[in-house]
Amino acid sequence: MITVGQSKARRLALHAGHTAGLAVFMVFAMFPLFWLVKISLTPNNLLYSEGITLWPSSITWDNYQFALLGSRFPRFFLNSVVVSLSSAAIVTLVAAAGGYAFSRFRFAGKVPIMFVMLLTQMVPLVMLIAPIFKIMSPLGLTNSLTGLIIVYTAFNVPFATFLMQSFFDGIPRELEDAAMIDGCTRLTALRRVIFPLTLPGMGATLGFVFTAAWSELLFALMLINSDDKMTFPVGMLTFVTKFSVDFGQMMAAGVLALIPACIFFAFIQRYLIQGLTAGAVKG
């Protein structure tokens, strides 16, 4: 911080302003989530009388009990975990291979392929909903978790490939060259030397894709129609439309949806800057 020509009082004022500014941003970021938790803990009979006080006079766990034991939410949760984890795992493998090719080779098709991959990030995905439904329906991939996994995997591969490339770029190529001169094949060199070094990068990619797949709504809405195949977003939206007055129960379910997202967020926080600058188009 540059302090040339600043009096002590001025620096104090700046410091106070800085802290106040950050506090405002923190309150803005946390308030909606705080409210979600608050309503989920408010007993039904207090909902309307104390709906807008900052904290209810008594709290209840009934809404969570309902969400966990009396509803379909555990099923939706499980479906979402299966879809998100599978997509994340497949994307990470596919993107690691592709990112490696981008990082270590120079070949004729490289620039066009990278350009096409960047282009896919510009295509409004919403326009693919109808044709993908039309293609997947005769293949038995609508109303199936496999179909969702295929779609999410393909959508996340371009961004994840660029992300993995940036991680490979950070690993000196001399390491694998040395191993290959010592007689390893490229695959052995990869497995023994490079793979352990890329683990953090793979973890970050896994986290990004998991988060993206966990929140995807529109394709899941179109492709899934039976109760037992619904992912969490679809299940929750259906519930909200059907029982739009059970606010406490809806918000308890919302808090459940928040938990995995927060865990993975903690996991990928360190890589946020790298990730977002690698694919500045991605939300």
Which residues in 48-87 contact another protein (CB under 8 A)?
48, 51-52
Q: Judged by CB under 8 A, how many residues of this single chain contact another protein?
A: 97
* Calculated CA dihedral for residues 164, 165, 171, 172, nearest 10 degrees: 160
Torsional sign, CA 211, 216, 220, 221: positive
| Residue listed under structure tokens 């989530």 | 33
Nearer to another protein, 69 or 122 (CB): 122
Tell whether residue 151 is a contact of another protein (CB under 8 A). yes
Query: Minimum CB separation from another protein for residue 123, in Å?
Result: 6
Q: Which of residues 234-273 bind another protein (CB under 8 A)?
A: 236-237, 240, 247, 250-251, 254, 257-258, 261-262, 264-266, 269, 272-273
Q: Binder to another protein among 68, 81, 85, 117 (CB under 8 A)?
A: 117
Query: Minimum CB separation from another protein for residue 155, in Å?
Result: 7
Nearer to another protein, 50 or 75 (CB): 50
Q: Which of 163, 244, 246 is nearest to 205 (CA)?
A: 163
Tell whether residue 11 is a contact of another protein (CB under 8 A). no
- With left for phi above 0 and alpha for psi between -120 and 50, is residue 183 left, alpha or beta? left
Tell whether residue 134 is a contact of another protein (CB under 8 A). yes
Query: Minimum CB separation from another protein for residue 74, in Å?
Result: 17
Query: How far is CA 133 from its chain centroid?
Result: 24
Q: How wide is the angle at C-alpha 159 spanned by C-alphas 215 and 189, nearest 5°?
A: 120
Residue spans of beta strands (DSSP E) within 84-223: none
* Calculated CA dihedral for residues 169, 119, 128, 264, nearest 10 degrees: 30
Q: Binder to another protein among 194, 202, 214, 246 (CB under 8 A)?
A: 214
Nearer to another protein, 75 or 104 (CB): 104
CA atoms within 13 A on the CB side of 101: 13
Q: Which of residues 190-209 bind another protein (CB under 8 A)?
A: none
